[in-house]
Amino acid sequence: MRILITAGPTREYLDDVRYLTNASSGRMGYAMAQAAIAAGHQVDLVSGPVALSPPVGCQFHPVETTEQMMQACQTLFPQCDGVIAAAAVCDYKPKTRVAGKMSKTGDGIILEMIQTDDVLASLGNSKGSRWVLGFALEAQNERENALQKLRRKNCDWILLNRPTAIGAETNEVELLGQAGETIVSWSGLKSEIAKDVIGWISTHLPSSSVSTSE
């Protein structure tokens, strides 16, 4: 299979030197890419800025902003069999980006924020015969929120994990299906979980699901 994998955070700039982002390390997405390559799959890795080297053997597509991640994914997804959307995409961005560098005035500032592009929903709504595995990092009403995300963004499955995963070497995840059931749970090193997820995908999906008519 050819698999599109997103990883890491995105950045949304306030001015030319300051930006909003999150604490995603990219480890889970990069582990997924490594595991997929080891299993013999082709991988397109679209990654926000992280302190990791891309796995040898993948097609690497570095991005910074959510808009750039959206553009890269929309270009690559039609040639792929499915997507593992592990990136922690910024949900909001400043309505206006200031040119240059904002000067400190001694007063507070008020930022007007607008929503960014929804990368996962875009892929889910255009998937056709492809499969979509999303990620949900939830701190409250975990299963309910994860299942709402699965259905709202037209995923086939969603991996539920929690804030303790941020920056950690280990993780605990549940693979949830469209009926709301827990298909399987995994815990341990992110590298081992990635192997388990890729193994599950390889076992439960045909070798190619891309529709050549799209």
Q: Is residue 33 part of a domain?
A: yes
The least confident of 27-36, 60-69, 138-147 is: 138-147
Q: How many domains does the chain have?
A: 1
Q: Is residue 107 part of a domain?
A: no
Which residue of the set 22, 125, 154, 171 is catalytic?
Answer: 22
Active site residue 145: no
Q: Under the phi-then-psi rule, with left for phi > 0, alpha for psi from -120 to 50, and beta for the rest, what region is 131?
A: beta
Q: Is residue 49 part of a domain?
A: yes
Q: Is residue 138 part of a domain?
A: yes
- Residues 92-119, mean pLDDT to the nearest whole number: 92
SS (H, E, C) 127-172: CCCCEEEEEEECCCCHHHHHHHHHHHCCCCEEEEECHHHCCCCEEE
pTM for this one?
0.92
Residue 16 neighbours by CB under 8 Å, 6+ apart: 98, 99, 100, 101
User: Taking the mean position of all CA atoms in its chain, how far away is CA 199?
Assistant: 19
CA distance 45 to 7: 7
Q: What are 68's two structure tokens?
A: 């750039």
Domain of residue 182 covers: 2-92+113-204
Q: Is residue 98 part of a domain?
A: no
pLDDT of 192 over the 90 cut: yes
- Residues 122-142, mean pLDDT to the nearest whole number: 94
Q: Is residue 118 part of a domain?
A: yes
